[in-house]
Amino acid sequence: MEETLSSENIATYSGTEKTLVALSATLGYCLDFYNIMIMAFMFSAIEHALSITLAQAGLVISMTLAASVLGGVLIGFLGDKIGRKNALLASLILIAIGAILSAFAWNFVSLLIFRIFAGIGIGGEWGAGIVLFNEVWDRHRRGLGSGIIQAMSAVGLALASVVSAYCLTHYEADLAWRIAMAIGGLPIILAALVRTSMPESKLWVAYKTRERRGDLPAAKIGEAGPLLGTFQVASGRYFILGTVIVGGYIMSYQSGTTFMPTLMGRVLGAGPETIRNAVLLWAAFVAVANALTGHLSDRYGRKRLVVGSAGVVAIGFVAILLAGDIKYPGSFLTWPLFWAYVLWGVGQGGSAVFGPWYAELYPVEYRATAVSTIYTTGRLIGSSAPYVVPALAAAFGSLVDAMMFGLFGCLVGLFTALVLPETAGRKFAVVEDWTQEPASM
């Protein structure tokens, strides 16, 4: 362990090590998002096969999201205590177990329990993977790399769409949803790769080595653990601001992606195949936007790109509102609503900046706990949209008007981002004093 204490070794990873970390983070997040979305795509088939009510199905989804918050806190904490690699491994195993067991569910209770297992893993995967990635990757390219990882959400969405369509077309409904859920167990293969080949964060190893030797500064020896440390002085302020930003962004995301297919189809007359093709092309635009936004944040700063992207989302919402009563013209490529949706989706690329921005705000000893907890708590807040938007639609008599609930979340995220410090390119160190607000970033 001696060699891990040199700054050169802490900052240096081989090309193979970097590739393995990037591969695990990108594939992990793709399968994470697949497991979130596949339940929605197979909703009707599951209801019919297990004879569950709409309210029970909604409870399964709600409890999965609630479990993801628990997973974010728990696996983030493990990332600081037993290592980023082991925490990521735990999250992937939980996702795989939950997904595979879900495919064998026989009633409402069994499905609920199995999806809670999957939810815990889903909640922890992003934080464990993104923190390890940002500690390994070149500090001047963290945004680009994190943007590519975030782009996997669009790939996961597209994968869930394709798999669900294929299964429902080629198999009986009861078998179709079980196959689709079982495919969500693929993280077990990724877990094997992580266990055997992926490196641990040298920064974390160096800190733990100094901690065991009693070689930390006096202020660090009596420092609170990861959970309490997340809420100390400047850290607590960052937690609140970061959670509000994530919550606002996800509120806007859920308000759009959850209800756009219904708006296009049930309200404006597009067919299922048209909607599928439109969503797949939209996902490609969003994936590119995530990577590009992350890259630009390395050059121009995290804050500017989050604020600018939120501004694009706001404009996109207005465009959706203006095009929200235009019937499907026969091709989605000539449909103003589709291109308004694309503009809105491009703005969602701002979420690509969350990983490096929040990782750069915290010291190594509670970075994983803080980043993971911020993201999953914000995700839970943002997931209020699927419940609020239908209620507003019933009150207003207009789905597109109700979807503007997401515009509120977008603006909240925009103005909150103005307060969070800039961090782009911050150099990580084994020991950092972050008990006070940094004088400059």
Per domain, the residue ranges of the chain are 16-197, 225-420
CA separation, residue 229 to residues 73, 158, 223, 237 (Å): 13, 38, 8, 12
Helix (H, G, I), strand (E, B) or coil at 215: coil
Q: What is the pLDDT along the chain (441 residues), one digit of tens a residue?
A: 333 344 444 567 888 888 888 888 888 888 888 988 888 778 778 888 898 876 787 778 778 878 888 998 899 999 999 999 999 889 989 999 999 999 999 999 999 999 999 999 988 888 888 999 999 998 999 999 999 998 888 888 888 888 988 898 899 988 999 999 999 988 778 777 777 778 889 999 998 888 888 887 766 666 656 655 565 656 788 889 999 999 999 999 989 988 898 899 889 999 888 988 998 899 899 999 999 999 999 999 999 999 999 999 999 999 999 999 999 999 999 999 999 999 999 999 999 999 999 999 988 888 999 999 999 889 888 888 888 888 899 899 999 999 999 999 999 999 999 999 999 988 888 887 655 454 344
Look at residue 1 in the predicted model and tell me its pLDDT.
31
User: Do 225-420 and 16-197 fall under one CATH topology?
Assistant: yes
Phi, psi of 138 (to 5 degrees): -55, 125
- Give the whole-angstrom CA distance, residue 14 versus residue 222: 35
With contact defined as beta carbons under 8 Å apart, do 120 and 101 qualify? no
* Residue (of 346, 255, 324, 293) closest to 142 by Cα position: 293
Look at residue 358 in the predicted model and tell me its pLDDT.
93
CATH superfamily of this structure's domain 225-420: MFS general substrate transporter like domains (1.20.1250.20)
Q: Residue 304's CB: how many other CB atoms inside 10 A?
A: 16
- Give the whole-angstrom CA distance, residue 308 versus residue 293: 10
Listed in sequence order, the residues at least 6 apart from 401 whose beta carbon sits closer than 8 Å to its beta carbon are 321, 324, 392, 393
- Give the whole-angstrom CA distance, residue 56 versus residue 107: 11
With contact defined as beta carbons under 8 Å apart, do 212 and 117 qualify? no
Look at residue 56 in the predicted model and tell me its pLDDT.
81
Tokens encoding 187? 């993280």
- Give the whole-angstrom CA distance, residue 438 versus residue 441: 7
Look at residue 153 in the predicted model and tell me its pLDDT.
84
Tokens encoding 275? 């909607």
CATH of domain 16-197: 1.20.1250.20
Residue type, 39: M
As a residue count, the chain comes to 441
- Give the whole-angstrom CA distance, residue 123 versus residue 64: 9
Phi, psi of 343 (to 5 degrees): -60, -45
